[in-house]
Amino acid sequence: MELRCRSRRAALRALVQAALAGSLAFAALGPAVAATLEASVKAAYLYKFTGFVEWPPRAFAATDTPIVIGVVDAPEVLAELEPVLVGRSIHGRPLRARRVIPGETLEGVHMLYVPAPDRLPSAWLASADAQPLLLVTDQPGGLASGGMLNFLLHEGRVRFEASPPAAERAGIRLSARLLAVAERVVP
């Protein structure tokens, strides 16, 4: 039990470090550097989120099925995320990143990063509601458009907000530790 607590403390510490990395003021950097750094911070968050999310057993075909993070319309985030996930695992499951094109099947995807869900076909997003899929958005009002976690730029820093009820409707549980470091939690 002590080892498990240490592991969780280490994971929480890593999430806080990712949040601190997001503390860099992007406005002070050149636009290209700022965009790359922002994509890198968001990729780090996506990776760290996986350790603080509990999917139902039905989300996985087998005990060794990887956790797949799908990325829609954000090639810069995908490019930063892929090398971060190499050789990593969470909860005994390997991690994978995958580019997802709107309209294709979301089968096998466990987390979906969609920067602007309001620009996607609603029928496609409705199909996402039929499975335990953690939807991470990146726009003002992202939680209102179905997001469970939503990135915010607050005073030049990457932060996130969370909607536990939206996650619960999909059968996903967000850790209290994740919620504790969220900028805002929507009841």
The full set of domain ranges for the chain reads 2-185
User: Which of 44, 66, 72 has the alpha carbon at shortest distance from 135?
Assistant: 72
User: Pairing relation of β-strands 149-154 and 157-162?
Assistant: antiparallel
Work out the angle at residue 16's Cα, subtended by the Cα atoms of residues 11 and 18, and round it to the nearest 5 degrees: 95
Tell me the backbone φ, ψ of residue 74, rounded to 5 degrees. Answer: -145, 70
Whether the pTM exceeds 0.85: the reply is no
Q: 92-145: per-residue pLDDT in tens? A: 999 999 999 988 889 999 999 999 877 777 777 776 777 899 999 998 888 988
Burial of 122 by CB count in 10 Å (0-12 exposed, 13-18 middle, 19+ buried)?
Answer: exposed
pLDDT at 29 over 70: no
pLDDT of residue 23: 44
CATH of domain 2-185: 3.40.50
pLDDT of residue 126: 73
Q: 143-165: per-residue pLDDT in tens? A: 988 889 999 988 889 999 999 99
